[in-house]
């Protein structure tokens, strides 16, 4: 350790030109120190007893004053440092080649880097460099990662700061931290030609100032939370007036040796937030955050690019990238990285040295649904209840959601769910039609239909399904105008549910429930086979369920579909399942027409019920 320190000390002396050069560069300080030292020695030798006493008293007073100044100065310097991590150029190693999934955002970042590299040439054209860049978007989309890549590509020092780290219990310390951060950034900028400050979660100190929150923010400032004073200091430092920062430049200007306009060194401030709408308007104006980039979830091509990037870092067998891209709709780059790493862990504990798509699927399921936690003490009767409940969902999903692929049906507990039936989109979609929403309602109510048809009861597990279906029907009728009305409750939110709206929602739910019931009665044989498979194996792959229903499609088409249910399924049916045999015995067309009719022959939107039901089924 001592040898390394001596080598570094010699290197610094060599860079500075040696000891004599160091003394010459600091000659005025050295002469002042020498005069004071000699004077104190002379006074100490020639002084009388009285003079010595006075001198000692003065010395003690000066010592106490200096001790207090140094103590408080050190305290505020320590508190004012904050949690800021300075990263030198190239230290992180993150480049634009490592940022995947959003080419448009990357192109904007490349242009910013080009401007930072050529600030001098750009200013000669009469332009000004970009002072601020605001990155907004959901968590995990790569905002911090992009900022690191910008710093590496620009070859500039990079400061990573968390906005809550500026807050302190002492008033004014937060302002001091901001001043010290930007002071060091300007110092490094003069050395490297620029510097970058990245402030994460900037909404913690950049919230909008208003009459409603002003008092609270001022009280926060008095109690040390920063408040408006901290925001005002940030506003000043991001767009300061033109002034000289160094002492040398100030002395030269005081002596009249420097008269040209002061040019502040370029400092780029990058802020990241999930709540850009909550930021103060003075912070968002041009001159501070000149550019705003919305970093959103990657699209299909972006997800494939991210998956390829992370798969290249691990051993893997041939993987269906297109299917994996659809499996990860709504995933952030961080989530994709996590799932692939979990797949590696799963393959390792399985004793394999390369991951497969099955490992990826198992890791994805654990990420989405939670860890598998089988309830080994669950009775056969409860397993059968769960099996028919989830089988109802599965049949409806396969038959009513053509743009989705059934992924898995399970009655093994995952997280808080005792069972589930999951689908994945075949393609990324951003809109939803009325018919698609009604299909989702049928899919949600299919579990209750299965309980009534095959178990003769109603279970508590339908609570979540009923809630989701009711919410979707409410949005259709009161916000989307799906019933033909042009009035929307959107400006007022949900509010109080009036009796008329409740009646309309119940009509929609009842109509779709009848359709779901007719569908499950038609595929009673498939329901029985899926439920038995779930009871026996605990879970079924989506392809297995599709094969089962395809086999029963052939039986129904040939007229050999089941006409009665297993006896154990009807053992406790009572009055609820009394109409099952009639539904099974009815012809297919009559069953569909009867399921779509309401008491007065009209549907919830005023159209003929049979035409609406047939049209919806035909479109699906």
Distance of CA 382 to the CA centre of its chain: 38
Q: 390 catalytic, yes or no?
A: yes
Largest CA distance in the chain: 128
- Alpha carbons within 13 A on the beta-carbon side of 563: 5
Q: Contact 603/511 with Cβ under 8 angstroms?
A: yes
Alpha-carbon span 187 to 195, nearest angstrom: 9
Q: Contact 408/559 with Cβ under 8 angstroms?
A: no
Q: Which residues contact 469 (CB under 8 A, 6 or more apart)?
A: 440, 441, 444, 445, 509, 512
- Alpha carbons within 13 A on the beta-carbon side of 245: 18
10 Å Cβ neighbour count for 361? Answer: 19
Angle, in degrees to the nearest 10, between helices 380-400 and 499-522: 100
Q: Contact 342/366 with Cβ under 8 angstroms?
A: yes
Alpha-carbon span 139 to 73, nearest angstrom: 39
Helix (H, G, I), strand (E, B) or coil at 89: coil
Q: Contact 532/384 with Cβ under 8 angstroms?
A: no
Best CA proximity match to 115, nearest among 149, 63, 150, 68: 150
Q: Contact 528/561 with Cβ under 8 angstroms?
A: no
Q: How many residues does the structure list for the chain? A: 620
Q: Is 554 left (phi over 0), alpha (psi -120 to 50) or beta?
A: alpha
Q: Contact 407/423 with Cβ under 8 angstroms?
A: yes
**How far from 348 is each of 343, 358, 363, 528, CA to CA, in Å?**
9, 13, 13, 38
Token pair for residue 17?
A: 């030109």
CA quadruple 560, 563, 566, 567: dihedral, nearest 10: -150
Alpha-carbon span 373 to 387, nearest angstrom: 17
Helix (H, G, I), strand (E, B) or coil at 3: helix
DSSP H or E run through 197: strand 195-200
Alpha-carbon span 214 to 8, nearest angstrom: 52
Token match 């010459």: residue? Answer: 24
Q: Which of 153, 233, 365, 390 is catalytic?
A: 390
Helix (H, G, I), strand (E, B) or coil at 19: helix
| Dihedral pair phi/psi, residue 368, rounded to 5° | -85, -40
Mind telling me the catalytic residues?
A: 390
């Amino acid at each position: 350790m001592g040898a390394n320190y001596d080598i570094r000390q010699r290197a610094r002396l060599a860079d500075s030109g040696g000891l004599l050069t160091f003394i010459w560069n600091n000659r005025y300080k050295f002469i002042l120190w020498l005069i004071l030292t000699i004077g104190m020695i002379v006074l100490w030798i020639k002084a009388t007893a009285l003079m010595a006493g006075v001198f000692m008293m003065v010395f003690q007073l000066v010592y106490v004053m200096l001790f207090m100044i140094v103590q408080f100065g050190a305290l505020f310097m320590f508190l004012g440092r904050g949690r800021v991590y300075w990263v030198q150029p190239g230290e992180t190693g993150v480049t634009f080649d490592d940022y995947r999934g959003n080419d448009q955002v990357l192109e904007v970042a490349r242009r910013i880097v080009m401007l930072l590299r050529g600030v001098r040439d750009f200013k000669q054209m009469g332009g000004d460099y970009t002072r601020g860049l605001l990155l907004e978007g959901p968590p995990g989309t790569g905002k911090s990662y992009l900022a690191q890549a910008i710093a590496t590509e620009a070859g500039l020092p990079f400061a990573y700061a968390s906005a809550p780290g500026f807050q302190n219990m002492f008033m004014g310390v937060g302002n001091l931290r901001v001043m010290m951060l930007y002071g060091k950034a300007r110092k490094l900028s003069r050395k490297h030609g620029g510097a970058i400050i990245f402030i994460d979660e900037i909404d913690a100190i950049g919230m909008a100032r208003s009459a409603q929150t002003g008092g609270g923010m001022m009280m926060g400032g008095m109690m040390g939370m920063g408040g408006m004073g901290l925001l005002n200091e940030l506003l000043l430092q991001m767009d300061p007036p033109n002034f000289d920062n160094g002492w040398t430049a100030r002395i030269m200007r005081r002596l009249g040796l420097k008269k040209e306009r002061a040019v502040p060194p370029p400092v780029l401030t990058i802020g990241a937030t999930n709540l850009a709408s909550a930021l103060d308007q003075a912070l968002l104006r041009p001159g501070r955050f000149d550019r705003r980039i919305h970093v959103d979830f990657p699209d299909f091509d972006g997800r494939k690019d991210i998956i390829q990037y992370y798969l290249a870092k691990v051993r893997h067998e041939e993987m269906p990238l297109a299917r994996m891209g659809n499996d990860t709709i709504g995933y952030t780059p961080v989530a994709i990285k996590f799932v692939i790493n979990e797949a590696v862990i799963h393959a390792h504990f399985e004793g394999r040295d390369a991951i497969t798509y099955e490992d990826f699927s198992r890791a994805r399921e654990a990420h989405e649904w939670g860890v598998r936690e089988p309830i080994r003490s669950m009775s056969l009767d409860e397993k059968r209840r769960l099996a028919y409940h989830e089988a109802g969902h599965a049949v409806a999903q396969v038959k009513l959601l053509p743009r989705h692929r059934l992924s898995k049906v399970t009655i093994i507990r995952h997280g808080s769910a005792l069972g589930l039936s999951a689908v994945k989109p075949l393609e990324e979609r951003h809109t939803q039609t009325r018919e698609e929403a009604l299909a989702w309602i049928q899919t949600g109510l299919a579990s209750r239909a299965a309980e009534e048809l095959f178990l003769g009861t109603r279970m508590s597990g339908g609570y979540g399904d009923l809630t989701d279906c009711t919410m979707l029907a409410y949005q259709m009728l009161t916000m989307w105008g799906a019933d033909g009305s042009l009035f929307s409750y959107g400006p007022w939110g949900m509010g109080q549910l009036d009796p008329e709206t409740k009646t309309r929602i119940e009509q929609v739910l009842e109509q779709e429930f009848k359709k779901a019931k007719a569908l499950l009665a038609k595929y009673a044989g498939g329901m029985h086979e899926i439920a038995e498979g779930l009871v026996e194996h605990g879970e079924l792959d989506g392809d297995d369920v599709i094969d089962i229903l395809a086999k029963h499609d052939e039986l129904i088409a040939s007229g050999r579909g089941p006409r009665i249910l297993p006896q154990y399924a009807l053992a406790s049916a009572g009055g609820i399942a009394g109409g099952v045999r009639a539904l099974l015995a009815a012809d297919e067309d009559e069953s569909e027409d009867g399921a779509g009719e309401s008491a007065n022959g009209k549907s919830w939107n005023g159209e003929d019920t049979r035409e609406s039901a047939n049209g919806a089924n035909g479109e699906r």
